[in-house]
Amino acid sequence: MVQRKDLLHLSFYEKSPYLGSDGPLRYRIEKSEEGEDDAKKKVMKVTIWPGPFSFDKTPEEKMSSVNFEFKEEALDEIAKWISEKSSEMKES
């Protein structure tokens, strides 16, 4: 189970992606942008995939991504979402 304390401070994601795992689930959290050119906004893109392979070695069709607002409070939501997906993966 991923908890908020397992994730880094928001300022870390400004500069670098974060990779982690929870049992068979692998995840990557990174700063990204969404929207049109004139209305782009900064988001936190969270990508999950089944292990054991790394992000670079996993086919895109095995990955799933969701965007969250780029704010400190979103890290609570991210931890909850990753934990839910990890539980689903363990059950299947």
- At residue 75's C-alpha, the angle toward residues 31 and 29, to 5°, is 35
Give the pairing of strands 64-69 and 25-34. Answer: unpaired
Mean per-residue pLDDT pooled into runs of 10, the chain (92 residues): 95 96 96 89 97 94 97 97 93 79
pLDDT at position 37 is 79
pLDDT at position 39 is 86
**Residue 21, exposed/middle/buried by CB under 10 A (0-12, 13-18, 19+)?**
middle
d(C-alpha 49, C-alpha 74), whole Å: 20
**Contact (CB, 8 A) for 40 and 1:** no
pLDDT at position 38 is 80
